[in-house]
Amino acid sequence: MQKESNKGSNLALIATMGALHEGHVSLIKRGQKECSQVIVSIYVNPTQFENSNDLINYPKSIDDDIDILNSLNIDFLFIPNKELMYPNGLVSKVFDLNGIDEKLEGAMRPGHFQGVATVVDRLFELTQPDKAYFGLKDFQQVQIIKKLSLIKGGTPEIIACKIIREDSGLAMSSRNSRLNVKELKAAASIFKALKFAEKEVKVFPTPPAALIREMKSIINSTGHIKVEEITFAFSDNLDVINDPDFPLDHYNKKVHCFISAYAGDVRLIDNHFIC
């Protein structure tokens, strides 16, 4: 008797903005492993950019992307235009996201996550996937999309996938292609700082203020990367930990650290579980 596949007839969606890298490839391969068909979308979504220069400069490599997708033998490639994605004009919908969209990145980038939710909601409508795969480099975004799925009745199932990193520890990102050699090397200090915090908390009851001071020094001392923000927050609800002196391991709750930094005008983000 032939063994039945556990894939069923499921469709996996991997939603991207192009400039594909190994992080995207890992999502595609997992989708192929767990579902019978995979659709990859490429659309640079204007409503999630509060900075027009960031939108203009976002890396684009459609020919290379298609070559990568052909080599992976995906089933469908979806490259919608603005008119299909926003038939009523470039305006974000307003979703009740339990305030998750106003914390951390959302506080620094007003409207960003409503733009993300709007485009992902539209992609779900157009492609009707059973599962959708997103990388945890954008930890807060994954929580937003999980909430969006719940609003839609739990479909599609949202699969959160681990961060894929360069050998240096730098989280893979399409924006990394805009870094020069010195910036690329220096950007590894972001993950170095995150690992420092994780290790320090295991050894000492270190308060956030001291950790942030040392982490900023690790990153800023490279001379090529400048910290924008370092924040500790509870992993489950993303509530920011504001007490600078109370040791993180004394909360008896899981804690994440979130970093945003600049290499020139290129904004980089990363996060890591601390304790």
- The SS3 assignment for 28 reads helix
Alpha-carbon span 99 to 111, nearest angstrom: 12
Alpha-carbon span 180 to 120, nearest angstrom: 31
Alpha-carbon span 90 to 46, nearest angstrom: 8
Alpha-carbon span 216 to 238, nearest angstrom: 21
Between vectors from CA 173 to CA 18 and to CA 221, what angle results, nearest 5°? 150
Return the bridge partners of 15, or none. 41
Chain center to CA of 109: 14
Residue 24 falls in the annotated catalytic set: yes
The residue type at 160: A
Chain center to CA of 180: 22
Q: What is the DSSP letter of 231?
A: E
Alpha-carbon span 129 to 131, nearest angstrom: 5
Structure tokens at 202: 């295991």
Alpha-carbon span 31 to 124, nearest angstrom: 16
Alpha-carbon span 161 to 119, nearest angstrom: 20
Residue 112 dihedral angles phi and psi, to the nearest 5°: -60, -50
Provide the strand spans (E) within 171-265.
Answer: 226-234, 255-263
- Among the options 24, 112, 224, 256, which is catalytic? 24
Question: What are the residue numbers of the active site?
Answer: 24
